Amino acid sequence: MGFLDDVQGTLDRGMNAARGAVSTVAGEQLGFVRGFCRMCQDGWELGYHERNGGNASYRLTPADLNSARSFFYDAPSSWVAMGVTVPEMAGEHLLVTGSGKFLRNVKDDPVANSGIVEISPSGDAWRIVWGLKDGARPTSEIGAHVATHGVRKQATDGAARVLYHAHPNALIALTALLPADARTLTRLLWSCVTESVIAFPGGVGMLPWKVPGSADLANATAEVMREFDACVWQLHGVFASGSDFDEAFGLVNAIDKAADVYLRARAAQGGNANLPFAISDGDLRATASAYDLPLNETFLS
């Protein structure tokens, strides 16, 4: 019996390994996983993710969860406290990038550099149910992601599902020249690129520098994003929300392009901050009217 038991044990281990390999490959081919990978790759190619900079998360739909559940681990990881409590996110599942992982590698090896975490019934902890293999953990800013998903879920009646944090060069450089004030930043971005008011008619939020990954940053970001689709972190980067990957990535791209155009125009006139032919408030109102945009009038004169 001992010999037969050994043979059966070997067969069982082989079958489990085979099932795990098939599960991993299939899991990586899920549509929302591929979309997530593309967003990370697009950001890397634009220089938004130096080293292990930046992170992202996606809140799964019920259909996504149904398609992914068969690939979940038989034994999830232990629960880990987040440092924040978000009742609105209880029981939700997020696809997230890993802590210390390079976003350039997500596309080539999603299961090592990202994973799906489940949020606890009390909304204050996470556990890994797929991916993040070999002891990897979700992004160190998981608290900010969960807290912000909670408020964006409420603010958009569940439509917002993507959060994308990037480190765009021009935008970070611009924050070194400005006070941490949403109105100042937004008006400047609106004034130098016509498409800006179309991309973010509600404006862009902004926070002064805070310790990365801290509960203070998580809570402050969530509060700002009750009102705004994006929050700029001074000397750090931007945190943006969207209903899908294109919307979240496109918002970051539009904000950074406007910052880059402003800095180029400012440099071209010797550093003078006043652009002689900036878009006027009247022009902004006319554009908003033409495109039926929810313009944030509190940011206009």
Q: Which residues are designated catalytic?
A: 141
C-alpha span between 203 and 175 (Å, rounded): 16
Tell me if residue 230 falls in helix, strand or coil.
Answer: strand
d(CA 300, CA 273): 18
Rounded to 5 degrees, φ, ψ at 293 are: -100, 145
- List the structure tokens of 29: 């081919």
* Cα→Cα distances 240→16, 128, 132, 230, 261, Å: 40, 24, 23, 4, 20
For residue 91, is it left (φ>0), alpha (ψ between -120 and 50) or beta? Answer: left
C-alpha 298/C-alpha 301 separation (Å) is 8
Instruction: Please state the length of the chain.
Output: 301
> Which of 88, 94, 29, 83 is CA-nearest to residue 57?
94
Between CA 146 and CA 219 the distance in angstroms is 10
Name the token pair of 128: 């890994």
CB-CB contact of 298 with 211 (8 Å)? no
Asked if residues 174 and 204 have their Cβ atoms less than 8 Å apart, the reply is: no
3-state secondary structure of 242: strand
CB 243 within 8 A of CB 159: yes
Burial of 301 (0-12, 13-18, 19+ CB in 10 A): exposed
